[in-house]
């Protein structure tokens, strides 16, 4: 059973844990045009029984929710990235207090993966780890950050028309340089989600995430 609680800063869905072994909750972060419902099935598939926290991005682009503004395809409004990452971090902290949650592992797709990467750089104590599906570098010159071995999975698409291969490799290097334990996989897919993403994310969560 899930519930919607609009009192916190972001509209969101929360699915309580279903019992069984205690596992870190998932913070589900949708792509452009998605909402708080989009990744619930994915979250349940990759970490059965875990609590799921799924906020909706607060920026609208032609009516489509996003987590931060962009100036063009692949060109981010970096001041907005920083501001929105701060807002999202405060939401996560408030939701943890409201629902009694441990630090979550982010699972983000596309725009959601980009804001998750920004959280790792700007709020390095917030997340227990992150699975980033089709991410890009969110900030050209991020501040120094230390992730102290935090596990991070990056899933890129070899045929992705949106994310250049060198950009994804640069993100992996940035996070690794900040101390994360990075695993970067390049899959024979495009930008969309695939069954391979689900399988790899599930196996990685089982092996690496708290």
- 11: domain CATH number is 3.40.50.1820
pLDDT computed for residue 20 by the predictor: 66
pLDDT computed for residue 6 by the predictor: 46
> What is the pTM for the complete model shown?
0.94
Q: Which of 110, 148, 184, 203 is catalytic?
A: 110
Q: DSSP secondary-structure letter at 57?
A: P
Q: Which of 191, 194, 199, 203 is catalytic?
A: 191
Angle between helix axes 111-122 and 165-177 (nearest 10 degrees) is 30
* Enclosing domain of residue 130: 3-208
Per-residue pLDDT of the chain (210 residues; tens, 9 = 90+): 444 454 688 999 999 999 766 789 999 999 999 999 999 999 999 999 999 999 999 999 999 999 999 998 888 999 999 999 999 999 999 999 999 999 999 999 999 999 999 999 999 999 999 999 999 999 999 999 999 999 999 999 999 999 999 999 999 999 999 999 999 999 999 999 999 999 999 999 999 988
Q: Which of 160, 197, 203, 206 is catalytic?
A: 160
Contacts of 30 (CB under 8 A, 6+ apart): 36, 38, 39, 54, 56, 57, 65, 109, 111, 112
Q: How far apart are CA 17 and CA 44, in angstroms?
A: 10
Which residue, 17, 39, 18, 37, is CA-closest to 28?
Answer: 39
Active site residue 191: yes
Active site residue 30: no
Rg (CA), the chain: 15
Q: What are phi and psi of 94, to 5 degrees?
A: -65, -40
Which residue, 22, 43, 14, 36, is CA-closest to 197?
Answer: 43
Which residue, 7, 179, 178, 8, is CA-closest to 88?
Answer: 8
Q: Are 49 and 96 in contact (CB under 8 A)?
A: no
Q: How far apart are CA 94 and CA 120, in angstroms?
A: 18
Number of folded domains in the chain? 1
Q: How far apart are CA 140 and CA 198, in angstroms?
A: 29
pLDDT digits (tens, 9 = 90+) for 103-137: 999 999 999 999 999 999 999 999 999 999 999 99
């Amino acid at each position: 059973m899930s519930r919607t609680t609009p009192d916190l800063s972001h509209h969101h869905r929360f699915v309580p844990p279903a019992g069984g072994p205690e596992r870190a909750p998932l913070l589900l972060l949708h792509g452009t045009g998605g909402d708080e419902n989009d990744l619930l099935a994915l979250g349940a598939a990759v970490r059965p029984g875990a609590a799921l926290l799924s906020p909706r991005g607060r920026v609208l682009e032609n009516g489509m929710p996003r987590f931060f503004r962009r100036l063009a395809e692949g060109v981010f409004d970096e001041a907005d990235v920083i501001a929105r990452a701060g807002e999202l971090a405060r939401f996560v902290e408030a939701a943890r207090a409201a629902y009694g949650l441990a630090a979550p592992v982010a699972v983000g797709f596309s725009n959601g993966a980009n804001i998750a990467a920004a959280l790792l750089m700007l709020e390095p104590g917030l997340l227990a780890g992150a699975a980033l599906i089709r991410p890009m570098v969110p900030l050209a010159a991020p501040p120094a950050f230390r992730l102290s071995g935090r596990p991070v999975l990056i899933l890129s698409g070899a045929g992705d028309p949106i994310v250049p291969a060198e950009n994804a490799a640069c993100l992996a290097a940035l996070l690794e340089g900040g101390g994360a334990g990075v695993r970067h996989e390049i899959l024979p897919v495009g930008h969309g989600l695939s069954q391979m993403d689900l399988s790899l994310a599930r196996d990685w969560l089982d092996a690496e995430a708290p």
